[in-house]
Structure 1
């Protein structure tokens, strides 16, 4: 799944965007200002950044300039209360790809995010490699040891989520939201059951990766480097 970094100092606005983007299947991360956003991108680059302008510490103008200088092929969508044409021109000159004015319909945000991802061809070409194991999200296929096979849908999505951010710890709640959705009525035991099945399926590939339980926190995937 494509990942979206939402940058806004208003927690209610971040929550609104998170809810609607996750409903569309995107993995959503958050930051309250430009400084936090750059730190998040350094840990694991997102596929698209949705950013506000008026923020403390580092505003959207400076963040846009910094991101465009580092990630030339990163889609940027500015979401702001400023509707003046001069502000839009400034944003485009700094490198934003699109501009959405508050207040907005959440579905319009989703449409613009989808359009930008299509433009950058991120949505249609998604693969992750951990060791010698390759996951192809488009085909929902796993290639390993000269074989190609398919996992049950939720097992694939869970493995893809963990493999997309090797070393990052995900709580059971985060995995439930990103893989099953916020409306999932089951409990967190669902994650444990699927993790157990993945470990059994990929036991012979433990030289490529393993899924580690982090006591009291959740799970992380450790990828092994190959020469």
Structure 2
């Protein structure tokens, strides 16, 4: 009797069927395994930040890009920038609006939003320093006084007429406010961009920047023109673009 023939392993279809079933099982449970991964949010920013102010009160605009690289849905509650100049106290700016499209001129309210696993979000975000109610009342009071005075002086004047000055007693509160709120002085700055969520999970990115003397002077020079209503009659404060670098 002829000995039984032995089928080579690579021709054993039952073995390959088992392998295919095992691979299919592995692929089917991968999505479920992701759920056990910790929350993780990758933060990227553009290499430059736009700095400006409103009668001295600091503002910034930054391109923020977020990617959910963890295993769970993340609900972003807000963004903030903590900024500290060497030798000065820390101050914070809060993300309030963002530009839905790069070509947009008006910001959209930065409301909480969700990021599914591997979903990305990227927009220009406008950061502002939130002032107290007393500071807001002070601002609105001198803003109205200067605006009303300049408008009254210009009654009957042609649009091409030279600028008129508000009296010193009306301008003094604006100058005091500017000097108290202005932050963009020459020097080295450390920044921390923080993304808060609806859980205890918080993501952050550490950055640094240098404001040179010419940049600071450009931002501060409109202080001498407050008496003409600059940055009071309309939003026309100067701005400057500063390079950002990562820090450990």
- More helix per residue: 1
Larger Rg: 2
TM-score by length of 2: 0.25
TM-score w.r.t. the length of structure 1 is 0.27
Of Structure 1 and Structure 2, which has the larger fraction of its residues in strand?
A: 2
